[in-house]
């Protein structure tokens, strides 16, 4: 298949690129190396892909519809894995318009190009942030969507566009609601990345609020596997992609400290706005619809991650 991966130099996107190349697909990576975090980290992510014969990199912006259309047309793209986004809750609170432009309008550009140029399928990276205010746990896909950040709202919009393009135009789309993904190349703004760095240096770990809020964490290989499976399954559907288990943020910090064998102290500071109190995925729909199951639990995933970080 000829696959376009938007955001292919990012954390999840670059792992997906590697996996698609391994499976002998042709891969075009579209990324604008947004400075949200250091772009040199993103160049490092795609270092091995760059030398692959079936890989090409286009430095461009999904907000530019003409550019997206040209890339799809010139490369005869068959499948689009749409991962480019302004990720991150806090930055969306600082600049909601940028988040909307990239995540909502950018997704619309992708869908418009796909529909007009005969792309076979679009797989859209959504997020557990669409749920926001918890009514019950675990979140199944029918749980009300009341996001608590502009980021969550932009992801709701993108999901709806994907569903509507399927229902009205017959463009095959699948949205995957990833629950906090972690592993090698994790975004530097995510808690697991920050806590591990601190623990490896025996520095204090800062937790916003009381640390009793909980998260469902998904290991990168499990997230990528679900994304690959969506190429041929789940048309018009939305799936939760999580581990189906949760841990408190205090518990997470304690686990990381224990795995590193270091002696960081945990300190609590004021809670931040825009964060959901709890996330936990009901993954029954993805098990049935995609034939997918997570393989790596948080303890094993953290050990793998800390081993990689420790070597650097
Ligand atoms: N990491 C997680 O825990 C998580 C959880 C839920 C959903 N997601 C979603 O998964 C996707 C990938 O997330 P990630 O953690 O790998 O983030 P990331 O920031 O590492 O990757 C996103 C990539 O998109 C690129 N990008 C940003 N704006 C762009 C634009 N206008 N045009 C082209 N490229 C652009 C960035 O440069 C970056 O390389 C995103 O859609 C994110 O919202 C991630």
Which residues does the annotation mark as catalytic? 151
**Ligand 1 mean position, distance from CA 265 (Å):** 31
Integer Cα distance of 110 and 198 in angstroms? 39
Residue of 80, 79, 78, 99 lying closest to 88 (CA atoms): 99
**Closest CA to ligand 1's atom 38:** 10
Integer Cα distance of 166 and 228 in angstroms? 19
pLDDT score, position 246:
98
Each of the 312 residues of the chain gets a pLDDT tens digit; together they read: 999 999 999 999 999 999 999 999 999 999 999 999 999 999 999 999 999 999 999 999 999 999 999 999 999 999 999 999 999 999 999 999 999 999 999 999 999 999 999 999 999 999 999 999 999 999 999 999 999 999 999 999 999 999 999 999 999 999 999 999 999 999 999 999 999 999 999 999 999 999 999 999 999 999 999 999 999 999 999 999 999 999 999 999 999 999 999 889 999 999 988 888 999 999 999 999 999 999 999 999 999 999 887 644
pLDDT score, position 58:
98
Q: Rounded to two decimals, what is the model's pTM?
A: 0.98
Residue of 115, 32, 83 lying closest to 227 (CA atoms): 83
**Closest CA to ligand 1's atom 26:** 84
| Helical ranges in 181-264 per DSSP H | 191-200, 220-229, 249-260
Beta strands (DSSP E) in 160-293 are 172-178, 181-182, 205-208, 214-215, 218-219, 237-241, 247-248, 266-269
pLDDT score, position 312:
45
**Ligand 1 mean position, distance from CA 82 (Å):** 9
Exposed/middle/buried for residue 65 (C-beta within 10 Å: 0-12, 13-18, 19+):
middle
Domain boundaries, the chain: 2-179+219-242
Q: Give the atom of ligand 1 at the shortest distance from the alpha carbon of 39.
A: 37
| For ligand 1, mutation pick of 4, 6, 9, 12 (most atoms within 8 Å of CB) | 12
pLDDT score, position 274:
82
Residue 301 has, within 13 A of its CA and on its CB side, a CA count of 23
Fold classification of 2-179+219-242 (topology level): Rossmann fold (3.40.50)
Integer Cα distance of 219 and 292 in angstroms? 13
């Amino acid at each position: 298949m000829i696959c376009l991966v938007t955001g292919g130099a990012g954390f999840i996107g670059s792992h997906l690129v590697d996996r698609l190349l391994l499976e002998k697909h042709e891969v075009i990576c579209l990324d604008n190396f947004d400075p949200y975090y250091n772009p040199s980290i993103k160049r490092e992510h795609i270092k091995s892909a760059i030398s692959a014969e079936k890989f090409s990199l286009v430095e461009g912006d999904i907000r530019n519809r003409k550019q997206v259309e040209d890339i799809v047309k010139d490369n005869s793209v068959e499948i689009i894995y749409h991962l480019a986004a302004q990720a991150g809750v806090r930055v969306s609170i600082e600049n909601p318009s940028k988040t909307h432009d990239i995540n909502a309008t950018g997704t619309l550009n992708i869908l418009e190009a796909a529909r007009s140029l005969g792309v076979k399928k679009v797989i859209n990276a959504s997020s557990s942030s669409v749920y926001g205010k918890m009514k019950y746990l675990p979140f199944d896909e029918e749980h009300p969507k009341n996001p608590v950040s502009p980021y969550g709202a932009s992801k709701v919009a993108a999901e709806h566009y994907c569903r509507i393009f399927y229902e009205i135009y017959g463009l095959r789309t699948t949205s995957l609601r990833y629950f906090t993904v972690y592993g090698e190349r994790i975004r530097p703004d995510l808690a697991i990345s920050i806590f591990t760095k601190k623990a490896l240096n025996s520095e204090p770990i800062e937790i916003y609020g009381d640390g009793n809020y909980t998260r469902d964490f998904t290991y990168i290989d499990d997230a990528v596997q679900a994304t690959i499976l969506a190429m041929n399954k789940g048309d018009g559907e939305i799936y939760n992609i999580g581990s189906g288990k949760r841990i408190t943020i205090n518990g997470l910090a304690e686990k990381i400290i224990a795995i590193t064998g270091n002696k960081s102290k945990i300190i609590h500071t004021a809670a931040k706005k825009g964060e959901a109190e709890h996330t936990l995925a009901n993954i029954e729909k993805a098990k049935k619809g995609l034939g997918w199951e997570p393989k790596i639990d948080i303890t094993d995933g953290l050990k793998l991650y800390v081993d990689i970080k420790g070597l650097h």
